[in-house]
């Protein structure tokens, strides 16, 4: 199993349009400060699955030299997590898409012209794609009705993607998430910034400790963090193009 962080930014990405903060200025020069919107690529010997399809999906797939994917899993129906699906126009039609009913039905209203093949998934019930086992679990991201995270298993290896969530994750989900080899955790802002719908970096690192994660990487990062070369000395910040192999 190979996991690539195609995008580690929040809804605005970094640099944020019109912003002149030190992080956005650094991001304008490229490098690890430049963050496209959130998408994760999961690969096996049998194929490729995208977790979410950010508005930057075209650039992400071209950057990774990917011409085709086998399936998409959507965590929830916010713009920055699905709107790039339209980039499949004249590239792929009838893509296999997976998610809870509430999410798929909502997103289908905007991408119906691509005729996605919709597969409704029940929470906590494993399903197989590309030779890997996936399980969706409920998280907390108001006002989304049923936001989910994604658990991926490959033999005895376990990767957990929190999706967008606050720290108030249901107990049933926390039990499922325990002891991952890798936790990919939503951490939209540093601790001194008040957040409600997401975790802060402090919340995300604490979650990794509580779950006994072998490794935690922070994603869905806003421009409110200090430049990557500084902040990464203190926090396990992810960056676009980062790869984990199991």
* DSSP annotation string for 158-220: EEEE--S--S---HHHHHHH-S-SEEEEE--B-TTS--SSS-BHHHHHHHHHHTT-S-EEEES
pLDDT of residue 141: 97
Q: How many helices (H) and strands (E) does the chain have?
A: 7, 13
Query: Domain segments of the chain: what residues?
Result: 2-245
Query: Residue 90 class from Cβ within 10 Å (0-12 exposed, 13-18 middle, 19+ buried)?
Result: exposed
Residues 151, 115: Cα–Cα separation, whole Å: 27
Residues 145, 232: Cα–Cα separation, whole Å: 33
Name the 3-class secondary structure at 239: coil
> Do the beta carbons of residue 181 and residue 215 sit within 8 Å?
yes
Which residues of the chain carry a pLDDT beneath 50? none
**Domain 2-245 annotated CATH 3.60.15.10:** yes
Q: CA torsion angle for 208, 213, 214, 215 (degrees, to 10)?
A: -40
pLDDT of residue 223: 98
DSSP-derived secondary structure letter, 83 = G
Instruction: Show the tokens assigned to 164.
Output: 């967008």
């Amino acid at each position: 199993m190979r996991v690539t962080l195609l995008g580690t930014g929040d809804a605005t990405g970094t640099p944020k349009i019109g912003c002149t903060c030190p992080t956005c200025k650094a991001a304008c020069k490229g490098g690890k400060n430049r963050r496209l919107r959130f998408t994760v690529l999961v690969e096996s010997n049998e194929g490729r699955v995208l977790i979410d399809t950010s508005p930057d999906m075209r650039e992400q797939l071209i950057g990774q030299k990917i011409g085709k994917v086998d399936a998409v899993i959507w965590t929830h129906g916010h713009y920055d997590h699905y709107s790039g699906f339209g980039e499949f126009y004249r590239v792929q039609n009838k893509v296999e898409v997976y998610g809870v009913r509430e999410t798929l039905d909502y997103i289908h209203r905007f991408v119906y012209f691509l005729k996605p093949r919709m597969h409704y998934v029940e929470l906590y019930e494993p399903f197989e794609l590309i030779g890997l086992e996936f399980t969706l679990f409920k998280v907390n991201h108001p006002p989304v009705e049923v936001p989910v995270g994604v658990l991926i298993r490959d033999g005895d290896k376990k990767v957990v993607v929190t999706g967008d969530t606050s720290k108030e994750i249901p107990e049933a989900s926390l039990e499922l998430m325990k002891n991952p080899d890798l936790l990919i955790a939503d951490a939209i802002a540093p601790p001194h910034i008040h957040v409600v719908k997401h975790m802060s970096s402090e919340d995300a690192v604490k979650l990794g400790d509580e779950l006994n994660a072998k490794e935690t990487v922070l994603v869905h990062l806003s421009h409110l963090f200090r430049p990557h070369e500084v902040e990464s000395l203190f926090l396990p910040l992810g960056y676009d193009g980062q790869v984990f192999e199991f």
